Amino acid sequence: MKVSVVSAWVSILSGLLALAHLVSLHFLSPEFDPSFRMISEYALGSHGAVLSGMFLTWALSTFVLLFAIAPQVKGIGGKIGLVFLVLAAVGMTMGGLFDLRTPQHGFAFMLGVPALPIAAILITKSLVRSKPWADHKKLLWWTAHATWISFLLMGIAMGVMFYTFAQSGAKMDTTPRVDAVFPKGVIAYVGWPNRILVVAYIVWVIKVAWLSLKLQKKK
């Protein structure tokens, strides 16, 4: 069996497993309100291992996609996209190895979160230039654009939260804790955009991996 075929299947299955980990955390740790608690905060509960599993399977899904599509990605832009795909996977791996109580987790966020949308746009732009992929360009572009849109939505939500926090006059406590609360007047709905971002990122990876399988069967 071709490396690209095996890699595509691993990418799809590990991506689905990452989504399963994410969904399970909402049931395993219901004390974390998903409307304002970030996914990384699940590390503060009793099921940090599940969170690590989510990050690591997400990283695996993203990284092995490289081997599924690399031969089909052409041009300088596409190759740069593959580099950003690897950077995103590195960030996700670090997210699984270092929780939010460590400075490495913050670096993982800054590395992995912005890298994936760049990879998605550049790789998609390269792939849809060839005939087999061009037939699916509408859906591919929808999933690719969803990555940066979700990134933008989370950025806006975080900006609103920090702004309203400053307006409240309260002193910001950055110590991670299970029972975190916000002062009155703070608009903190960063949790759902954070989850939408993770889902959008994984969906793009799975879609590209699935199409690579489908198109290879037609050859």
Are residues 127 and 140 in contact, defined by beta-carbon separation less than 8 angstroms? yes
Token reading at 122: 């550049």
Gap between the Cα atoms of 70 and 62, Å rounded: 13
What is the three-state SS of 117-150?
HHHHHHHHHHHCCCHHHHCCHHHHHHHHHHHHHH
Beta carbons within 8 Å of 162's beta carbon, 6+ residues apart: none
Output the pLDDT for position 188: 87
Residue 62 CA to its chain's centroid (Å): 9
- Higher-pLDDT residue of 58, 175: 58
Q: Please compute the mean of the pLDDT values over residues 209-218 and round it to a whole number.
A: 86
Find the DSSP H helices in 48-136: 48-69, 75-97, 103-127, 131-134
Q: What digits encode the pLDDT tens for the residues 10-29?
A: 999 999 999 999 999 999 99
Instruction: Give the pLDDT band (50/70/90) at residue 55.
Output: very high
The whole-angstrom separation of Cα 213 and Cα 6 is 9
pLDDT tens-digit profile of 159-188?
A: 999 899 888 877 766 667 777 777 788 888
Q: What percent of the chain has a predicted confidence (pLDDT) above 90?
A: 81
The structural domains of the chain, with segments of one domain joined by +, span 3-218
How confident is residue 1, by pLDDT bands cut at 50, 70 and 90?
A: low
Structure tokens at 9: 């299947």
How confident is the model over 71-84, as a mean pLDDT? 96
What is the reported pLDDT for 187?
86
Q: What is the DSSP letter of 183?
A: -
pLDDT tens readout for residues 78-135: 999 999 999 999 999 999 999 999 999 999 999 999 999 999 999 999 999 988 899 9
87 DSSP 8-state letter: H
CA distance linking residue 217 with residue 213, whole number of Å: 6
Chain-wide mean pLDDT for the chain? Answer: 93
The secondary structure of 160-175 as a DSSP string is HHHHHHHHHTPPP---
Q: Is the pLDDT of residue 219 over 60?
A: no
Who contacts 190 (Cβ-Cβ below 8 Å, separation ≥6)? 36, 38, 154, 157, 158, 161
* Assigned token pair, 30: 């219901």
- What pTM did the predictor assign? 0.94
Calculate ∠ Cα 33-35-37, nearest 5°: 60
Residue 2: pLDDT band with limits 50, 70, 90: confident
